[in-house]
Structure 1
Amino acid sequence: MTQGYNPHQIEHKWQQIWGERHIYRTVEESDKPKFYTLEQFPYPSGKLHMGHMRVYSIGDVIARFKRMNGYRVLHPMGWDAFGLPAENAAIKNNVHPAKWTMDNIAHMKEQQNQLGVSYDWDREVTTCQPDYYRFTQWLFLLFYERGLAYRKKAAVNWCPGCQTVLANEQVEDGRCWRCDTVVEKKELEQWFFRITEYADRLLHDLDKLDEWPEKVKTMQRNWIGRSEGTNVTFTIPELNDAPVTVFTTRPDTLFGVTYMVLAPEHPLVEQVIRGKAQERQIREFIARMRNESEMSRTSADAEKVGYFTGAYAKHPLTGEEVPIWVANYVLMDYGTGAVMGVPAHDERDFAFAKKYHLPIRKVIDRPGDPLGEPLSEAYVEDGVLVNSGQFNGMPNRKAIVEISKALESQGKGERTVTYKLRDWLISRQRYWGAPIPIIYCDACGTVPVPKEQLPVLLPEDVTFDGRSNPLTTSPSFVDTTCPRCGQPARRETDTMDTFIDSSWYYLRYTDPHNEEKPFSKEMADKWMQVDEYIGGIEHAILHLLYSRFFTKVLYDAGMVSTDEPFKSLLTQGMVLKDGAKMSKSKGNVVSPDEIIEQYGADTGRLFILFAAPPDRDLEWSDSGVEGSYRFLNRVWRVVGEHKHIFEDRPQAEPDVDKESKALNRTLHYTIKKVTEDVGTRYNFNTAISAIMELVNAVQSYPQTADRGTLADAIEHIVLLLAPFTPHIAEELWQQIGHRDSVHEQAWPTFDEAALALDEVELAVQVNGKVRDKLTVPAGADNKEVEEMALARSKVQQQLNGKTVHKVIVVPKKLVNIVAK
């Protein structure tokens, strides 16, 4: 092997051979244990970035390692191909979304192949293809049949200029991103999935996910937001005692209510302000609130703004009338859209009361505090009730229960559980998505499309002008006949949220060519759960929560045997450059194409796996990439320089000399280290470091030592590198005389006996300070070690004139002599 390391030649050669041989095709029928490893599939934007390269490299190491360890592995890839960017490209460049998407897929697939990732491309799925979205529609109908899909009015972002609905990400500073028109809130009929029906299970079952990062589970718990509390019913005398329900987790503070706040969108606001002096001012305020985001209204830093409506609510226990306000920080979609103001015991209410000079009534007292002293801040700790009628003197925790009971006994409240989680709005008023399979008939009402008529195909005769939902411009799509009565009818023109496509794709991979249903239970049960799911923490809530919801619904429908989709979750860190996330705006982007072009894919993979543990952020380093390239060149030279050994390979005899025994010990230590670091901890960086140490040991191995031991070490370097740098490993495996693939070999095993040491080096301390080092036989007992340590000349010098009181021997580590 006289020529130097040429990664481009090697990588192109092996990628072609692997593709022709279908070496990574999934083995279905086997008595081997299964392992399903999956990276989150990408949106086909047209170009891979370093985040893609990192996540695919991580998944590929796991897949290759598991295959070599005797597993039948499912490692597929596909495309999350619907979405807004394709439609925007159609408007901007006058290109159909399908062409734009498929061209991008072709380019990105070529890039993935250049990385040498071991995907089974026979299982490729593309969510914008009819053979996939047909079954997305099939699943919608399943949800509809089970009462989990419904339609209701909901507020959306409406651009009067473009005459279209905008996604939240298309609203910039309250204006349309395309035409800069001020965006309005508008109520439209929208489709929802009833995810709230599964809130308790989604929350409770997080405890089953032992192999998920705790931070992800915490994020989901907070998003679901379960709260135990009490619904309290106030009434409005001037509206014939119309009830107003308030949810509170603190009924113990009920006697401290001095005002009530309604959300601007609350249906009672219209009635309580009508004819009042401040009606016009409040209506203008409500109009402004329609165009403000929930985040801006409820953030901790946002100013709390409110207006007195002129109306009063009657307290359910005291009969006192409290003023009703309308304020920006209360949202109709959270709780009941009404809150009771208890400024003495809530920091937000305290600030609001101070700003608008509302009464502050203390009803929980810290024992020992002066009762009449005014509060300088809200008191939010536990105590005993004061100013609370019959409940005075009761500990507030007990009062939570007792006041709730009192409300229930009088029919003015009930204990309940609420959630922050809201039903999933799945309607999108755009073209590039799966059409919702619903037909509206004047005679029959809402009619689901029969499953045998799926897919409902996206039409070609649409107009992309950025001014409306393109589907509404296609008469061939909108105008249809009712499948029940045969009369003229119209199709639903909303398409589905693309999160639906990604909520079940992992199941389609188990049975990707099924033409009768999304997948068979037999095939799903053969592979599910996904054993290792890999992707960014930015998907911790929506995608992962929706996928869990989908799986539970399919479990209840008898389609799968597991109610959780992902057994283990690995959330990889970001790739940073100069301390910041790579982005075009920062000018710090490094493309995978650049690395492959300059150094080859194996170098890029090696660096990205070596530079940091997978769950940590990775700081890009040009010198680190160059170092990885130099290491692969070194491996290439080591194998080339010793290629002749394999032509007439001698039997290894590691016990014939000290050097051979040492190299053999290093070899078996490395096998053990890499096996444990990859197989149980995914510490790829320390595994690679151990391989580097083995290469160092081979390079310093004497020419006179045992040749068979050297050959063993070199062969195992190639085997151990195979999951990390697949191309060079495959090439070197052939160069040392093998004809089958390195990736079809069994993972090497280590010999515990080879790890045993003949001698160990100990630190020798005198009164806790290291004064010498001592090499002793590995089997020496403590008495022998003590005698050898005391006999050392450096130790004798330190002990001159002192009396030894104690000698402490820590086996295989140190000897500490205590002397005075």
Structure 2
Amino acid sequence: MQVRYPFQEVEEKWRRYWEEKKIYKVNLRNPRKKLYCLVMFLYPSADKLHIGHWYNYGPTDTWARLKKMQGYDVFEPIGYDAFGLPAENYAIKTGIHPHDSTQQNINVIRQQLKQIGAMYDWDHEIDTSKPEYYKWTQWVFLQLYKMGLAYKAPGPVNWCPSCNTVLANEQVIDGACERCGTPVVRKFLTQWFFKITQYAEELLEGLDKLDWPEKTKIMQRNWIGKSIGAEIEFTVADTGDKFSVFTTRPDTIFGATYVVLAPEHPLVEKITKPEYREQVQAYLDFVAHETEIERTSTEKEKTGVFTGAYAINPATKEKIPIWIADYVLIHYGTGAVMGVPAHDERDFEFAKKFNLPIRKVILKPGTNPEDELESAYIEPGIMINSGKYNGMNSEEAWEKIVEDLSKEGIAKKTVKYRLRDWLISRQRYWGAPIPIVYCEKCGEVPVPEDQLPVLLPYNVDFKPTGESPLARCEEFINTTCPKCGAPAKRDPDTMDTFVDSSWYYLRYFTPHLDTAPFDKELVKIWCPVDKYVGGAEHATMHLLYARFITKALRDAGHIEFDEPFLSLYHQGTITNKGAKMSKSKGNVVNPDDFVSKYGSDVFRLYLMFMGRYDEGGDWSDEGINGICRLSKFFLLSERNHRCSNITKTHPFFQHLRRCSVFNPYHRSSMFERVR
């Protein structure tokens, strides 16, 4: 006899019942055994959920159901990261306003999410593009502004010529815009930054106490990039100007045969000799068109130009040439390095190309001082050609040289970080406006908190021209100064959407609260998040930013904990015939087709049994057919109260009985147990 699982009737019946009875409501004020389970909220840039969303949300909810059955009060909310470039780019392409397309997509996605049968409490849904939410994103900005953590400054920025906006360093992937793939160019603009560097050491140390994948923690450690070294002062021979170099190897200073300044270094124009000015300017023009990735690439051939000026090596008192080269960055260290070609691979290549002196000052064990170097020796050894330090172990000399130069007032031990401040300005329309106005009398003035939100106007020409679209909107840009009442201008930029997602986990408890960004008492009960699930691609963006904002809000006295997400899990990727799914390849699996044919539970179960959750797996139509047949067998056994030994003991059926909404007719079903 053909057995048909009536999933349409069964799933609709129980979804309706759960919604009417509100069985997923949690006593937020007085949980017995709390568990805050959260998935990274989705970006509604497309019109429907794809299989990657299902793979994130379905299995995570299955785990949350299991914890509910084990006696936990599970809070599992969902929301939409609704601002951002994709929606605006879609609007530019189609003419549909980003607000309208985003809300249309959210309506569709909400119904798809309900199909999953997840334990979401829809009374706690959030949408970052709604004024009731971004009012408080602006409030977060103002808290950082009051703490001195939000500031405006000129500097080199990453510019996407296609999206016509600035990108943070984390949003540049292999020299291209992460959104559209266009090669990024460098511009000098005045922009808003968050001072994430102030928390560099705490962000680094805090990783040790987190239950996160080790790979993700390594990525953050490398991105923060702590270096212990010394700043040493050099003097320009002719002008007497002072500049500092940062080095992690002060023990090699006797081998410094040249110095290199970043092309953007403020001394370059002053010290360049007239006869070298033309070639220096040509080089500056060349560097202006390079991306940071290109400049720091270890595979790229070294380039540079001599300024005609010389510096005094403070250890040897010798005059050594001052060059500029693109591999030195103005925002890392001091924007200047000492060239020690015998003991640094990059300097060795540079010296070989431009025929600069190579002086060995650390002897490799088992070699002779006269041996010619075929490559830089970068390990510890015995000091040679280093005056009174000769014969010392180089690691001992490291400390002694810094100590002696410090007594002369020209060196200090210091720590530097690769991490740079978070650039949050965006010259685009679809985002939270920056709550700052500019007055001729009062200067830069923050919008008072009781005047939030600064509303994003609807009638705006959002086609990108290189300037912020809001700058062309008279009704938005023209305002009055909150201090003196004189005519003033609003800041025309919007915030990076990662600001929206840096604090959203705090808003879920009270998404409609109008008097505060979150309920402090509920946050105290439920936070930090116990289990966070989402993609590993956010390791050095969202996950790092959320940690920073959490620490800043803690220091401002708004919360009492240090980290937002105690335990993190990355779901794997589902491929199709071994290839990553993409529309261009025509191998995207539409989950709706399979849900219509097999039902949400069978589809969810297939995802659960594809393999390790953090590894993903390869999609197979035959595989889901097998799950469907086994499910029918289980259903027949359960409904007839004739469970065989297989259905009682087999791990698949144990999992099915425990974690699925399957077969609600029987008393042993998940629903009957947790009702």
Give the TM-score category using the shorter length: over 0.9
Q: How does 1:247-396 map to 2 (within 5 A)?
A: 247-276=246-275, 278-396=276-394
Q: Which amino acid aligns with 2:93?
A: K
Native 8 Å contact 2:273 2:308 kept in 1: no
Residue equivalent to 1:203:
204
Deviation of 1:124 after TM superposition, in Å, equals 0.3
Matched, 1:553 2:552: yes
Q: Single out whichever of 504-513 and 166-175 deviates more from structure 2.
A: 166-175
- Separation of aligned partners in 2, 1:159 and 1:269: 28
TM-score scaled to structure 1, two decimals? 0.78
Matched, 1:59 2:76: no
Q: Which of 446, 449, 452 is the matching residue for 1:454? A: 452
Q: Single out whichever of 460-469 and 72-81 deviates more from structure 2.
A: 460-469
Mark the structure with the bigger radius of gyration.
1
Q: How does 1:88-487 map to 2 (within 5 A)?
A: 88-157=89-158, 164-167=164-167, 185-209=186-210, 211-238=211-238, 240-276=239-275, 278-467=276-465, 468-487=467-486
Deviation of 1:184 after TM superposition, in Å, equals 5.4
Matched, 1:691 2:647: no
Residue equivalent to 1:733:
664
Q: How does 1:409-808 map to 2 (within 5 A)?
A: 409-467=407-465, 468-642=467-641, 663=645, 667=648, 690-692=651-653, 720-721=655-656, 724-726=659-661, 729=662, 732-734=663-665, 736=666, 742-743=670-671, 745=673
Deviation of 1:724 after TM superposition, in Å, equals 3.8
- Separation of aligned partners in 2, 1:104 and 1:380: 56
Structure-2 change in CA distance of 1:175 and 1:126 (3 Å): closer
Structure-2 change in CA distance of 1:459 and 1:448 (3 Å): same
TM-score scaled to structure 2, two decimals? 0.94
Q: Which amino acid aligns with 2:632?
A: N
Structure-2 change in CA distance of 1:612 and 1:183 (3 Å): closer
Deviation of 1:179 after TM superposition, in Å, equals 14
Local SS of the residue matching 1:308: strand
Deviation of 1:580 after TM superposition, in Å, equals 2.3
Q: Which amino acid aligns with 1:165?
A: T
Cα deviation per residue 1:215-266 (whole Å; 9 max; x = unaligned)? Answer: 111111111111111001111122x211121101100011011111111111
Structure-2 change in CA distance of 1:723 and 1:301 (3 Å): farther
Q: Which amino acid aligns with 1:733?
A: P
Cα deviation per residue 1:643-688 (whole Å; 9 max; x = unaligned)? Answer: 7x9xxxxxxxxxxxxxx9xx59x95xx5xxxxxxxxxxxxxxxxxx
Native 8 Å contact 1:125 1:132 kept in 2: yes
Q: Which amino acid aligns with 2:14?
A: W
Q: Which amino acid aligns with 1:36?
A: Y
Cα deviation per residue 1:717-766 (whole Å; 9 max; x = unaligned)? Answer: 5xx5256432xx2xx232x368xx8436259xxxxxxxxxxxxxxxxxxx
Deviation of 1:107 after TM superposition, in Å, equals 1.1
Native 8 Å contact 1:434 1:495 kept in 2: yes
Deviation of 1:308 after TM superposition, in Å, equals 1.6
RMSD (Å), alpha carbons: 2.6
Structure-2 change in CA distance of 1:510 and 1:281 (3 Å): same
Deviation of 1:596 after TM superposition, in Å, equals 1.1
Native 8 Å contact 1:174 1:291 kept in 2: no
Deviation of 1:174 after TM superposition, in Å, equals 8.1
Local SS of the residue matching 1:733: coil
Structure-2 change in CA distance of 1:286 and 1:589 (3 Å): same
Q: Single out whichever of 427-436 and 170-179 deviates more from structure 2.
A: 170-179
Q: Which amino acid aligns with 2:292?
A: E
- Separation of aligned partners in 2, 1:338 and 1:91: 43
Structure-2 change in CA distance of 1:199 and 1:133 (3 Å): same
Q: Which amino acid aligns with 2:12?
A: H
Structure-2 change in CA distance of 1:333 and 1:170 (3 Å): closer
Native 8 Å contact 1:171 1:183 kept in 2: no
- Separation of aligned partners in 1, 2:295 and 2:495: 28
Q: Single out whichever of 617-626 and 452-461 deviates more from structure 2.
A: 617-626
Deviation of 1:76 after TM superposition, in Å, equals 0.1
Native 8 Å contact 1:60 1:723 kept in 2: no
Deviation of 1:492 after TM superposition, in Å, equals 0.7
Native 8 Å contact 2:155 2:188 kept in 1: yes
- Separation of aligned partners in 2, 1:624 and 1:401: 63
Deviation of 1:508 after TM superposition, in Å, equals 0.5
Residue equivalent to 1:11:
11
Cα deviation per residue 1:686-723 (whole Å; 9 max; x = unaligned)? Answer: xxx6134xxxxxxxxxxxxxxxxxxxxxxxx5xx5256
Residue equivalent to 1:752:
none
Native 8 Å contact 1:314 1:321 kept in 2: yes
Deviation of 1:368 after TM superposition, in Å, equals 3.7
Larger RCO, structure (CA 8 Å, separation 6 or more): 2
Structure-2 change in CA distance of 1:575 and 1:179 (3 Å): closer
Residue equivalent to 1:24:
24
Q: Which amino acid aligns with 1:529?
A: P
- Separation of aligned partners in 2, 1:298 and 1:558: 40
Native 8 Å contact 1:67 1:744 kept in 2: no
User: Structure 1 segments of 4 or more deviating over 4 A?
Assistant: 157-162, 168-180
Native 8 Å contact 1:2 1:640 kept in 2: no
- Separation of aligned partners in 2, 1:73 and 1:448: 39
Local SS of the residue matching 2:274: coil
How many residues in Structure 1 have an aligned counterpart in Structure 2? 671
- Separation of aligned partners in 2, 1:146 and 1:199: 16
Deviation of 1:58 after TM superposition, in Å, equals 2.3
Give percent identity, aligned residues only.
50
Q: Which amino acid aligns with 1:15?
A: R
Q: Which amino acid aligns with 1:537?
A: A
Native 8 Å contact 1:212 1:568 kept in 2: yes
Q: Single out whichever of 84-93 and 388-397 deviates more from structure 2.
A: 84-93
- Separation of aligned partners in 2, 1:429 and 1:536: 27
Native 8 Å contact 2:63 2:659 kept in 1: no
Q: Which amino acid aligns with 1:743?
A: F
Local SS of the residue matching 1:228: strand
Deviation of 1:158 after TM superposition, in Å, equals 5.3
Q: Which amino acid aligns with 2:142?
A: L
Local SS of the residue matching 1:229: strand
Q: Single out whichever of 199-208 and 182-191 deviates more from structure 2.
A: 182-191
Stretches of structure 1 that go unaligned for 5 or more consecutive residues are: 646-659, 671-688, 693-716, 748-820
Native 8 Å contact 1:77 1:125 kept in 2: yes
- Separation of aligned partners in 2, 1:176 and 1:105: 23
Q: Which amino acid aligns with 2:322?
A: I
Structure-2 change in CA distance of 1:287 and 1:176 (3 Å): farther
Q: Which amino acid aligns with 1:73?
A: V
- Separation of aligned partners in 2, 1:226 and 1:507: 30
Cα deviation per residue 1:409-433 (whole Å; 9 max; x = unaligned)? Answer: 1111110111111111111111111
Local SS of the residue matching 2:305: strand
Cα deviation per residue 1:166-215 (whole Å; 9 max; x = unaligned)? Answer: 547799988999999x9753322211111111111111111111x21111
Residue equivalent to 1:771:
none
Residue equivalent to 1:653:
none
Q: Single out whichever of 151-160 and 568-577 deviates more from structure 2.
A: 151-160
Native 8 Å contact 1:30 1:72 kept in 2: no
Structure-2 change in CA distance of 1:194 and 1:175 (3 Å): closer
Native 8 Å contact 2:428 2:464 kept in 1: no
